[in-house]
C-alpha cells in the first residue's frame, strides 16, 4: 500500500513538534517550565525508585523545596496514608517515560548536568517522551483510518488537522509532562490492536492489546472506559465478542498481561505503605448526582468544543458513518455520552489548570474517524468548504494555544466576557 501523503504528514508533524519544543522549552532556563503541577508527581516515580530507592519520597524536602524550588512552579504531589507518604498520582505516565528517563540519565552522567533525576536533561526527556507517544498515536490513527478505507491524502489531512487543531498539540509541546499525550498514544494503539485482531484473529494483536490496556489503566484508571469504544472499531461487535469467548487461552493471556501491568500500582502501594490499596485523592471524587454535562462540552471555562471547535465539525461526519454502519454510529454516540457523564461528574469537572477539556485528548481518534470519512465522501464544493473551514478552525485553535501560553486565556477562570474580550486578539500578544 502506497501512502506518500500520510507518511509525509507524519514526518512533518514530528519535525514541527521537535522544532517548536526546542524553541520554547529547551533554551536557557525554559526547561524548568516543562514539568509542572500534576506532571511533577508523574515524573517523581522514576527518580524515587531508580535513583533514590525511596518510594516514600523522602527527597522532596531537599529537591522540591530546596535545590529546584521556584515559587511559581512549586507543587506538593505527596499524599499521606496511615503514617506513610506516597505519590498522589498514578505510575503509568512514569512507565511511559522510562526509556527517555534512562537516556536523560546517561546524558546527565556524561554531561555537565546533575544526575539527580530533576535537572535539564530529564525535563527534555519528558518533552521527547510526550512527542514520541503523540507520534505513536498519530501513526496508529493513520493505520486505523486506512483500515476503514480512507484515502491516503485524507488520512494526511486528518492527522495534520488533529495535531494542530486540538489540544493534543498543547499537551505534546507546552505541557508534555501531563498524562494526556501518553494516554492518546496508548488508547489509539489499543484500538488499532483490537481492530487488527477482529479482522485477522492474530494472537499477538490480542496480547499487545492486553499490554496496552494495562498501561492505559496504570496511567489513568478512568481511561479503562476505552474498552467500551471497541464497538466503534469492530465491524461486527457480537461476532468479535463470540470469538473472544471461543478462544479462551489468548483472551485470558491478554487479560493476565493487562492485570500484571496495571498491578504495578498496588505493588507500589504495598512497598510504600504495607497496604495493597491506597486512595490518594483524599476528599476528591466523583459526584454522580451532579454531572456538568454541558459545561465540559460548551462552557467558556473549559468547553471541549469551545477550545477545539474542529471536533464539533468532526461530529458532522457521523452522517457518513451512519451510511456506512448504523451500529458504529450508535456505539459512538453511546460511548461519548457515557464518557461525558463520567468525566463531567468529577468534582473538579474543569480539571484545574489546562487548555480546554484536556481529558478528551485520549479519545481523539473517535473524532478523527467521522472527520476523515466526511473528507472521503464529500465531493466538489462541499469538500472544499469542509477543508477551508477545517483550516480556519485549526488557526483558531493555534491562536488560542498561543494566547494560553501568554496567559491571555486564563488557565482556570475564563468566562464569557473574558473569552470574547480576547477572542483572536493576536495584536495583544506583541
Integer CA distances (angstroms), 116 to 68, 81, 128, 365, in order: 11, 26, 19, 37
In this structure, which long-range contacts are made by residues 4-10, counting pairs with CB atoms below 8 Å and at least 24 apart in sequence? Answer: 4/152, 5/152, 5/153, 5/155, 5/156, 6/142, 6/146, 6/152, 6/153, 6/155, 6/156, 6/159, 8/156, 9/155, 9/156, 9/157, 9/159, 9/160, 10/135, 10/138, 10/139, 10/142, 10/159
Q: Over range 296-317, report the average pLDDT.
A: 96
**Residue 161: phi, psi to the nearest 5?**
-65, -40
User: Phi/psi of residue 79, each to 5°?
Assistant: -135, 145
Query: Which residues share a beta bridge with 85?
Result: 80
pLDDT given at position 376 = 93
pLDDT digits (tens, 9 = 90+) for 90-133: 999 999 999 999 999 999 999 999 999 999 999 999 999 999 99
| Predicted confidence band of residue 380 (pLDDT cuts 50, 70, 90) | confident
Higher-confidence residue of 402 and 2: namely 402
pLDDT at 253: 95
Question: In the numeric block, which cell numbers belong to residue 289?
Answer: 448526582
What is the reported pLDDT for 324?
Answer: 83
pTM confidence score:
0.95
The answer to whether residue 268 scores a pLDDT higher than 90 is yes
Look at residue 40 and tell me whether its pLDDT is greater than 60: yes
Q: How far apart are CA 94 and CA 101, in angstroms?
A: 9
Given a cut of 70, whether residue 236 has pLDDT beyond it is yes
Residue 430 clears pLDDT 70, i.e. is over it: no
What is the distance between the alpha carbons of residues 116 and 47, in angstroms, rounded to a whole number?
A: 7
Mean pLDDT of the chain: 95
d(C-alpha 331, C-alpha 191), whole Å: 14
Three-state DSSP state, 89:
coil
- Please, which pLDDT band fits residue 247 given cuts at 50, 70 and 90? very high
DSSP symbols for 235-246 = SSHHHHHHHHHH
Mean pLDDT value across residues 185-199: 97
What confidence score (pLDDT) does residue 2 get?
Answer: 64
Which residue(s) pair with 57 in the sheet?
A: none
The C-alpha cell 478462544 sits at 247
pLDDT at 319 over 60: yes
Percentage of residues in the chain having pLDDT higher than 90: 90
Q: Give the residue with greater pLDDT, 180 vs 353.
A: 180
pLDDT value at residue 323? 84
CB atoms within 10 A of CB 370: 25
CA distances from residue 152 to 133, 162, 318, 321, 402 in whole angstroms, order as listed: 22, 16, 20, 18, 30
**Interstrand relation of 84-87 and 78-81 (parallel, antiparallel or unpaired):** antiparallel
The H or E element containing residue 343 is: helix 326-344
The fraction of the chain above a pLDDT of 70, given in percent, is 99
| pLDDT at 23 > cutoff 60 | yes
Write the pLDDT tens digit of every residue in 332-374: 999 999 999 999 999 999 998 899 999 999 999 999 999 999 9
Amino acid at each position: 500500500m502506497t501512502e506518500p501523503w500520510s507518511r509525509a504528514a507524519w514526518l512533518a508533524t514530528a519535525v514541527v513538534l521537535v522544532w517548536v519544543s526546542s524553541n520554547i522549552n529547551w533554551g536557557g532556563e525554559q526547561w524548568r517550565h516543562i514539568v509542572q503541577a500534576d506532571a511533577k508527581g508523574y515524573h517523581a516515580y522514576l527518580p524515587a525508585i531508580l535513583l533514590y530507592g525511596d518510594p516514600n519520597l523522602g527527597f522532596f524536602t531537599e529537591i522540591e523545596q530546596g535545590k529546584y524550588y521556584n515559587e511559581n512552579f512549586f507543587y506538593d504531589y505527596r499524599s499521606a496514608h496511615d503514617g506513610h507518604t506516597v505519590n498522589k498520582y498514578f505510575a503509568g505516565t512514569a512507565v511511559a517515560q522510562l526509556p527517555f528517563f534512562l537516556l536523560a540519565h546517561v546524558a546527565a552522567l556524561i554531561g555537565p548536568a546533575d544526575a539527580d533525576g530533576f535537572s535539564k536533561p530529564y525535563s527534555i526527556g519528558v518533552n521527547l517522551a510526550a512527542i514520541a507517544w503523540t507520534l505513536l498515536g498519530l501513526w496508529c490513527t493513520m493505520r486505523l483510518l486506512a483500515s476503514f478505507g480512507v484515502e491516503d491524502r485524507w488520512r494526511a489531512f486528518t492527522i495534520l488537522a488533529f495535531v494542530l487543531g486540538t489540544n493534543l498539540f498543547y499537551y505534546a509541546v507546552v505541557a508534555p509532562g501531563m498524562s494526556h499525550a501518553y494516554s492518546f498514544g496508548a488508547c489509539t494503539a489499543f484500538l488499532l490492536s483490537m481492530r487488527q485482531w477482529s479482522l485477522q484473529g492474530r494472537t499477538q494483536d490480542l496480547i499487545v492489546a492486553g499490554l496496552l490496556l494495562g498501561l492505559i489503566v496504570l496511567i489513568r484508571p478512568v481511561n479503562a472506559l476505552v474498552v467500551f469504544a471497541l464497538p466503534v472499531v469492530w465491524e461486527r461487535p457480537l461476532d468479535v465478542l463470540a470469538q473472544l469467548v471461543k478462544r479462551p487461552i489468548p483472551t485470558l493471556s491478554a487479560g493476565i498481561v493487562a492485570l500484571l501491568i496495571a498491578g504495578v500500582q498496588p505493588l507500589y502501594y504495598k512497598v510504600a505503605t504495607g497496604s495493597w490499596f491506597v486512595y490518594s485523592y483524599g476528599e476528591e471524587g466523583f459526584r454522580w448526582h451532579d454531572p456538568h454535562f454541558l459545561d465540559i462540552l460548551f462552557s467558556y471555562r473549559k468547553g471541549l468544543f469551545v477550545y477545539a471547535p474542529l471536533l464539533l465539525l468532526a461530529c458532522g461526519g457521523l452522517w457518513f458513518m451512519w451510511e456506512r454502519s448504523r451500529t458504529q454510529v450508535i456505539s459512538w454516540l453511546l460511548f461519548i455520552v457515557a464518557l461525558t457523564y463520567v468525566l463531567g461528574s468529577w468534582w473538579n469537572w474543569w480539571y484545574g489548570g489546562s487548555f480546554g477539556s484536556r481529558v478528551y485528548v485520549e479519545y481523539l481518534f473517535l473524532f478523527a474517524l467521522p472527520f476523515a470519512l466526511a473528507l472521503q465522501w464529500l465531493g466538489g464544493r462541499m469538500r472544499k468548504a469542509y477543508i477551508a473551514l477545517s483550516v480556519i478552525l485549526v488557526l483558531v485553535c493555534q491562536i488560542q494555544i498561543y494566547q494560553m501560553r501568554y496567559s491571555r486565556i486564563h488557565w482556570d477562570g475564563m468566562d464569557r466576557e473574558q473569552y470574547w474580550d480576547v477572542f483572536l486578539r493576536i495584536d495583544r500578544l506583541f
